[in-house]
Structure 1
Amino acid sequence: MRMRLIPDETKIDFFSRSKLWLGISGLLMLGSLVSFLMLGLNFGIDFRGGTTIRTESTQAVDVGDYRAAIDELGLGDITITEIFDPTFAEDQHVAMIRIQSQDDQEAASAEMVETVEAALAGVTPDIRFVSVESVGPKVSGELIQTAILAVSLAIAAVLVYIWLRFEWQFAVGAVAALIHDVVLTIGVFSIVQIKFDLAIIAALLTIVGYSLNDTVVVFDRVRENLRKYKQLVLKDVLNLSINETLSRTLMTSGTTLLALIALLVLGGDVIRGFVFAMTWGIVVGTYSSIFVASAILLKLGVKRDWTKTGGKGNAGTQFANVDA
């Protein structure tokens, strides 16, 4: 006897309020764009240029004292954040200090690091510099351009792939869902001001792939059912296809989330931004595969003449049998 968390045969009408879901998604995307324009992103050292110093000590971190000690050095804009993590020992106190890029230096000089360490030693005698990272302004600007290009090319490649494998209506729905996921993820990072660095770009690309996988599974079943149920209207075919793949979609997302939540809680602050982006991306990716991609496909409609000609009509599915 097997335990079933999700029934084999569900009959949920996912399109009874499709306009509402699309409206909510549109508002969330608009809110994300407004947040991005007004608040911006909390760019990490990869994109901003400058020096990040991670410190440890057995004494509690006093951000005010740290700031007062470093301000006297005249190094410009600084950000000091105390790091909390359940994996830290009771006497392990960690701080992250970010110092803006100096005008005449591409990287932090040894003298500057020693000066900062000496200043902080006056506040916390046993302070240790665990890591020091430096990125010059020129390099950080190039990284921003490369990151935008990487995400854009990934979405463009998806557009071409789906267009060849299915029809252009499927491609539009899939790409709209991917853009939806990326925009909402950037919006969340803008609102909560979690550090946005190259690891988050990697997470965005992973989200694109994961969301695409979910969408292709649904679209494959839609195509099969369009051939199998020639008399059903498109809305009923979409509902049937999503219900048939619902168990697979939720179980795959659920098991992935279990691992991500464990990493989010126990993985430490170094990977927390990446794991947060992945966790959020899995949730919105699953949502968009059902409520965005399929809803847009329903609005655009699909030519069904190929169901009567053995797939040799003008549906643009000449690569439909290519394994992905």
Structure 2
Amino acid sequence: MKFFARVPNINFMAQRKTGLLVSTVLTLGALLLVAIRGLNLGIDFTGGVLVEVEYPQTVELDVVRADLAAAEYDRAVVQYFGSTNAVLIRLPPAANASSAQVSTNILQALHAEEKGIELRRIEFVGPQVGEELTEKGGLALLFAFIGIMIYIAFRFEWKFSIGAIAALIHDAVMVLGYLSLLWVEFDITTLAAILALIGYSNNETIVIFDRVRENLINQRRADILEVVNLSVNQTLLRSVITHLTTLLVLFALLILGGSSVHSFSVALIFGVIVATYSSIYVSTNLAVALGVSREDLLPPEDKEVDAMP
């Protein structure tokens, strides 16, 4: 345990200009990649076909996915619906196919006659639903950024607020670029992963900011770079332990969670790694570049009150 009690002495701010330059280049590259290549949008955003079937007994989702994959329904999203014998299947838009044709093909793929499967409903979801989801998802990200920016400006200082928002935008854009590069399906769970990443990354940033503020007030003779280095080193071991335990859970989800949480796990694993970097070289580094100082964080002095005669 003595190892965890020691505070390392790493000069992170020595590479502050390089770190900010690398972050800027990678963010612009990710934006260009998303703009040119786009995202592999899932059925949640493109619309498609919803098919609900009921098995006579409990069924494993992997069995359903295997039957659909054998019939060349590789992009089908399968999940339980209310119970373990009711399954909801989401398929990409069916071109020039009626509901009768789609239901017949699905039942044949699932070997309905042999297994006693019953078709409960089939619905066609238009792309307008996906457009509405895209709009609301974008608004959710925007409101999250605005709320975080206002809170940090009120709780700390506006220069810290700018740095924190820049780090969150950096993390979100980097994850989008990564998903576009690997062509990972972007569905509603991936959007949830990005929203979760915003909270996770912001928590890491707040911890460093709080220590910077404390050390700026207490370390009167140290300059801003020495204070930032001390603060990052003091929180480093905590960050390493937090990130490692989080990554262990995410890798477990990736390996054992199945296809339903695959994109969620992939997005968060990359996001956690990026957040570790951005909390130092984007948020804190940008606050330093904006000129945050001890005077910005000192509490206001009480006005002297004239003594009563």
TM-score, normalised to structure 1's length?
0.76
CA contact 1:203–1:278 (8 Å) conserved in 2: yes
Give the whole-Å Cα distance in 2 for the aligned partners of 1:311 and 1:162: 16
Are 2:100 and 1:116 equivalent residues in the alignment?
no
Q: How many matched pairs?
A: 277
Distance of aligned partners of 1:207 and 1:120 in 2 relative to their CA distance in 1, 3 Å threshold: same
Give the whole-Å Cα distance in 1 for the aligned partners of 2:144 and 2:65: 43
Residue 17 (structure 2) aligned to one of 16, 19, 22: 19
CA contact 1:32–1:184 (8 Å) conserved in 2: yes
Q: In the alignment, which residue of structure 2 is the partner of 1:217?
A: 207
Deviation at 1:59, TM superposition (A): 7.7
For 2:49, what is the secondary structure of its paired residue? strand
**Deviation digits for residues 256-277 of structure 1, max 9, x if unmatched?**
1111111111111111111111
Q: In the alignment, which residue of structure 2 is the partner of 1:177?
A: 167
Which ranges of structure 2 fall in alignment gaps of 5 or more residues? 52-60, 78-88, 302-309
Q: In the alignment, which residue of structure 2 is the partner of 1:257?
A: 247
CA contact 2:64–2:110 (8 Å) conserved in 1: no
Deviation at 1:117, TM superposition (A): 3.0
Q: In the alignment, which residue of structure 1 is the partner of 2:299?
A: 311
Q: In the alignment, which residue of structure 1 is the partner of 2:188?
A: 198
**Deviation digits for residues 259-300 of structure 1, max 9, x if unmatched?**
111111111111111111111111111111112111111111
Residue 278 (structure 2) aligned to one of 267, 281, 288: 288
CA contact 2:43–2:92 (8 Å) conserved in 1: no
Give the whole-Å Cα distance in 2 for the aligned partners of 1:306 and 1:59: 63
Amino acid in structure 2 at the alignment position of 1:164? F
Deviation at 1:38, TM superposition (A): 1.2
1:54-203 mapped onto 2 (5 Å cutoff): 56=64, 66=71, 80-81=74-75, 98-100=91-93, 109=99, 111-117=100-106, 135-203=125-193
Are 2:222 and 1:232 equivalent residues in the alignment?
yes
Deviation at 1:130, TM superposition (A): 11
For 1:143, what is the secondary structure of its paired residue? helix
Deviation at 1:114, TM superposition (A): 2.3
Q: In the alignment, which residue of structure 2 is the partner of 1:248?
A: 238
C-alpha RMSD of the superposition:
3.2
Residue 274 (structure 1) aligned to one of 257, 264, 285: 264
CA contact 1:170–1:219 (8 Å) conserved in 2: yes
**Which protein is richer in helix relative to its size?**
2
CA contact 2:47–2:127 (8 Å) conserved in 1: yes
Give the whole-Å Cα distance in 2 for the aligned partners of 1:121 and 1:283: 40
CA contact 1:181–1:285 (8 Å) conserved in 2: yes
Amino acid in structure 1 at the alignment position of 2:147? A
For 1:301, what is the secondary structure of its paired residue? coil
Give the whole-Å Cα distance in 2 for the aligned partners of 1:278 and 1:38: 23
Residue 44 (structure 2) aligned to one of 37, 43, 46: 46
Amino acid in structure 1 at the alignment position of 2:300? K
For 1:232, what is the secondary structure of its paired residue? coil
In percent, how many aligned pairs have the same letter? 37
**Deviation digits for residues 33-61 of structure 1, max 9, x if unmatched?**
11111111111111001126798487895
CA contact 1:50–1:100 (8 Å) conserved in 2: yes
CA contact 1:51–1:133 (8 Å) conserved in 2: yes
Amino acid in structure 2 at the alignment position of 1:32? A
CA contact 1:158–1:175 (8 Å) conserved in 2: yes
Give the whole-Å Cα distance in 2 for the aligned partners of 1:58 and 1:212: 40
CA contact 2:149–2:161 (8 Å) conserved in 1: yes
